[in-house]
Amino acid sequence: MERQQHRADVVIVGSGYGGSIAALRLAEAGVDAVLLERGRRWPVDDAGDTFATQTAPDGRAAWLSETSPLTDAKLDVYTGVLEFVEGSGMNVLAGTGVGGASLATNGTMCEPSPELFRQTLGDVLDHREMTERWYPQARELIGCAPIPDDIYHSEFYRSARSFADQLDKAGIPWTKVDLAVDWDVVREEMAGTRVRSQIDGLNVFGVNSGAQRSLDRTLLARAEASGHIDVRPLSVVTAVHPVDGGDGTAGYHVDYETIDERGEVRAHHRVTATRLILSAGTLGTNRLLLRAKQSGALPALHDALGTRVGNSEVITARTGMAENNPRQGGPAAIFAQDWKENPLGPVSLLNFPWPDAPEGEGWTTTIGAVPAPALGAFRYDPDKDDVVLHWPADDPALARAQSAITHTLDRLNEANTGTRTAFSRIGTTGGNVCGGVPLGTVTDDAGRVSGYRGLYVVDGSLLPGTGVPPALTVAAVAARVTSLLVDDLVRP
Q: Residue 245 pLDDT more than 60?
A: no
The DSSP result for 234-292, as a single string, is SEEEEEEEESSSSS-TT-EEEEEEEE-TT--EEEEEEEEEEEEEE-SHHHHHHHHHHHH
**What pLDDT shows up at residue 480?**
96
**What pLDDT shows up at residue 76?**
96
Domains of the chain, earliest start first: 1-42+81-143+213-305+433-492 (3.50.50.60)
189 pLDDT band, cuts 50/70/90, is very high
HSE-CB at 224 with a 13 A cutoff on CA atoms is: 18
pLDDT in tens, 117-157: 988 888 889 999 999 999 999 999 999 999 999 999 999 99
CB 95 within 8 A of CB 281: yes
pTM: 0.95
Per DSSP bridges, beta strands 420-426 and 313-319 are: antiparallel
CB 308 within 8 A of CB 435: yes
pLDDT in tens, 304-335: 999 999 987 888 889 888 767 667 788 989 99
Residue 77, Cβ neighbours under 10 Å: how many? Answer: 14
Nearest-Å Rg of the Cα atoms of the chain is 22
160 pLDDT band, cuts 50/70/90, is very high
Question: How far is 129 from 116, CA to CA, in rounded Å?
Answer: 15
C-alpha angle 157-158-164 in degrees, rounded to nearest 5: 95
Q: What percent of the chain has a predicted confidence (pLDDT) above 90? A: 76
**What pLDDT shows up at residue 326?**
63
pLDDT in tens, 246-263: 554 579 999 999 999 999
pLDDT in tens, 70-113: 889 999 999 999 999 999 998 999 999 999 999 988 889 999 99
CB 342 within 8 A of CB 166: no
CB 311 within 8 A of CB 465: yes
Handedness of CA 209, 215, 218, 221 (dihedral sign): negative
Question: How far is 113 from 110, CA to CA, in rounded Å?
Answer: 10
**110, 160, 174, 351 from 163: Cα distances, Å:** 18, 5, 10, 7
Question: What is the maximum span of the chain, computed from C-alpha positions, in angstroms?
Answer: 69
Question: How far is 232 from 229, CA to CA, in rounded Å?
Answer: 10
